[in-house]
């Protein structure tokens, strides 16, 4: 644990409390320990060895969503990640994690092939369980073994993944540029239409696409505090990226983009390489891709994913894309950049808290009267789909590029 870095960041905090007004967990819980200021105070005590890894401290550290909203309003620019991540790492080293969680992170999330196999098996199992009408038993098993809430809308894992059957290089006549497309685990294994749309639009923009078979970017293990495994995944991915010879990486997930473009440098320093990491919406606008002529006839609003807006500085681009699509009436949502409550494992371990945070987003969406909720992060898509199901709404939650791709329908 880098106690000196924690102390340094904590010393910057002036205890003004401005962060409390934007911290999603504090807004819901109204407990100082679940505000950014409270987390800084407790973690500083922990770094100074004046308190132990008690249950209240663990909850305080574990419920931070890393939405980075606190940093955006902090007058002293305190970097909460450099406080919470080392604390989670120390707590993990001291207390360990459950056997199942450890196994999943190390042997499934941390390895591409086992992760792909596990996702395919989940997809097959889901269909078999539905046919056999055994959903109740299945949900009870997931709840017992992994703590998955029985009411949660489960992601539909694809039996055939995005990478499946595709060549390492996809080209179209006349293309003059080349990029690496990094779909991330969710778009590769679950929301494959996002990845397919990305591929189609990149080709339309005059860009050839390289598809090296990548591991998980490492964000889930990094956020959990397992810095050694996160660094290992980073090194493996960088080796594969270097081997392509390309220098631009296009992503469709703000968390993947933040990990590749920002956190890899924190983990590995100069070994991270100086790739250009760019979100697909920014790339398509930069390359001047115009939408197709097919009119969508939809009212659409947009939710800003935390890591996309505050981690990759992508804000205007999705609004520009959506506003330019034929037949799309773009409606700005109130507080569009507040967290939807996903936060990686937070939504698994603290589902009730996550749902309460998400409720605010769903209500703001309803006030727009939009037909579609667009968002630029697959994790947000799945979390918000769960929210729509919770409130009995049949609203589609889509990535903007899925809508953009629909404009080219004949």
In the 3-class helix/strand/coil scheme, how is 339-362 assigned residue by residue?
A: CCCCCCCHHHHCHHHHHHHHHHHH
Least-confidence region, from 171-175, 270-274, 376-380: 270-274
- 267 versus 54: the higher-pLDDT residue is 267
* Mean per-residue pLDDT, 309-324: 97
Q: Which burial class, exposed, middle or buried, applies to 249 when counting CB atoms under 10 A from its CB (0-12, 13-18, 19+)?
A: buried
Kindly state the helix (H) or strand (E) to which residue 102 belongs, with its residue range. helix 99-103
The candidate with the shortest Cα–Cα distance to 88, out of 123, 63, 113, is 63
Helices (H), 159-204: 184-189, 192-204
Here the tokens at position 228 are: 């050694």
Phi, psi torsion values for 288, nearest 5 degrees: 75, 25
Report pLDDT digits (tens) over 58-73. 899 999 999 999 999 9
To the nearest whole percent, how much of the chain has pLDDT over 90?
63
The per-residue pLDDT for 156 is 76
pLDDT at 108: 66
Strands 328-330 and 298-303: parallel
Q: Which tokens sit at 188?
A: 């590769």
Which is it for strands 207-210 and 169-170: parallel, antiparallel or unpaired? Answer: antiparallel
Predicted pLDDT of residue 4: 77
Q: What pLDDT is recorded for position 236?
A: 93
pLDDT at 153: 72
| Average pLDDT of span 235-247 | 94
pTM of the predicted model as reported, rounded to 2 decimal places: 0.90
Residue of higher predicted confidence among 5 and 335: 335
* Residues 47, 341, 391: CA angle, nearest 5 degrees: 155
Tokens of 261: 């473009």
What is the per-residue DSSP string for 28-45? HH--GGGSHHHHHHHHHH
Highest mean pLDDT among 8-22, 54-68, 273-287 belongs to 273-287
Higher pLDDT, 177 or 46: 177
* Fold held by 298-406: Rossmann fold (3.40.50)
What pLDDT does residue 136 have?
67
Give the class (CATH, top level) of 169-286: alpha beta
Tokens 């595709």 map to which residue? 166
Q: 244 and 213 in contact (C-beta within 8 Å)?
A: no
Q: What is the pLDDT of residues 107-148, one digit of tens each?
A: 566 666 667 766 666 666 666 666 665 666 656 666 666 566
In the chain, where the domains are located: 3-95, 169-286, 298-406
**369: DSSP letter:** T
Q: What are phi and psi of 160, to 5 degrees?
A: -105, 115
376-395 burial, b at 16+ Cβ within 10 Å, e below that, comes to bbbbbbbbbbbbbeeeeeeb
Asked whether residue 214 carries a pLDDT value surpassing 60, the answer given is yes
Strands 169-170 and 276-279 come out as unpaired
Domains 169-286 and 298-406 share a fold: yes
Whole-number pLDDT of residue 1 = 47
Cα–Cα distances (Å) from 388 to 9, 171, 369, 393, 410, in that order, read 38, 38, 14, 5, 30
Maximum CA pair distance of the chain? 66
Mean pLDDT over the full length of the chain? 88
Give the phi and the psi of residue 2 in degrees, each rounded to 5. -85, 80
Which residue has 């009408």 as its token pair? 133
Query: Quick one: which of 116, 158, 154, 157 has its CA closest to 138?
Result: 154
């Amino acid at each position: 644990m880098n106690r000196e870095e924690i102390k340094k960041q904590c010393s910057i905090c002036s205890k003004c409390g401005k962060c409390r007004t934007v911290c999603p967990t504090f807004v819901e819980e109204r407990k100082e320990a679940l505000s950014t200021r409270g987390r800084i105070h407790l973690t500083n005590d922990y770094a100074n060895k004046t308190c132990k890894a008690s249950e209240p401290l663990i909850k305080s550290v574990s419920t931070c969503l890393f939405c980075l909203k606190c940093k955006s309003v902090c007058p002293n620019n305190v970097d909460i990640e450099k406080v919470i991540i080392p604390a989670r790492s120390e707590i993990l080293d001291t207390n360990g994690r459950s056997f199942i969680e450890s196994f999943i992170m190390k042997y499934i999330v941390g390895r591409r092939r086992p992760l792909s196999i596990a996702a395919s098996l989940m997809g097959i199992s889901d269909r078999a369980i539905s046919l056999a009408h055994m959903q109740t038993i299945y949900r009870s098993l997931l709840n017992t073994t992994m703590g998955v809430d029985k009411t949660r809308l489960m992601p539909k894992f694809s039996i055939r993944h995005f990478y499946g059957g595709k060549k390492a290089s996809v080209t179209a006549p006349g293309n003059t540029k080349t990029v690496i497309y990094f779909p991330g685990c969710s778009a590769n294994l679950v929301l494959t239409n996002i990845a397919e749309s990305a591929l189609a639009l990149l080709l339309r923009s005059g860009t050839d696409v390289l598809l090296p078979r990548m591991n998980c970017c490492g964000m889930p293990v990094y956020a959990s505090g397992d810095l050694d495994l996160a660094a290992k995944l980073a090194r493996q991915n960088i080796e594969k990226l270097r081997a392509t010879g390309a220098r631009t990486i296009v992503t469709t997930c703000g968390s993947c983009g933040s990990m590749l473009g920002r956190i890899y440098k924190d983990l590995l320093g100069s070994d991270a390489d100086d790739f250009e990491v760019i979100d697909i919406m920014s790339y398509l606008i930069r390359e001047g891709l115009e939408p197709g002529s097919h009119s969508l006839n939809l009212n659409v609003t947009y939710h800003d994913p935390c890591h996309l807006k505050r981690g990759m500085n992508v804000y205007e681009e999705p609004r520009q894309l959506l506003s330019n699509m034929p037949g799309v009436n773009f409606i700005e949502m109130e507080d569009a950049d507040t967290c939807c409550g996903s936060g990686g494992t937070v939504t698994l371990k603290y589902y009730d808290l996550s749902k309460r945070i998400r409720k605010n987003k769903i209500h703001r969406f309803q006030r727009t009267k939009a037909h579609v909720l667009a968002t630029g992060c697959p994790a947000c898509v799945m979390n918000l789909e769960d929210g729509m199901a919770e409130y009995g709404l049949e609203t589609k939650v889509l990535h903007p590029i899925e809508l953009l791709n629909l404009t080219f329908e004949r």
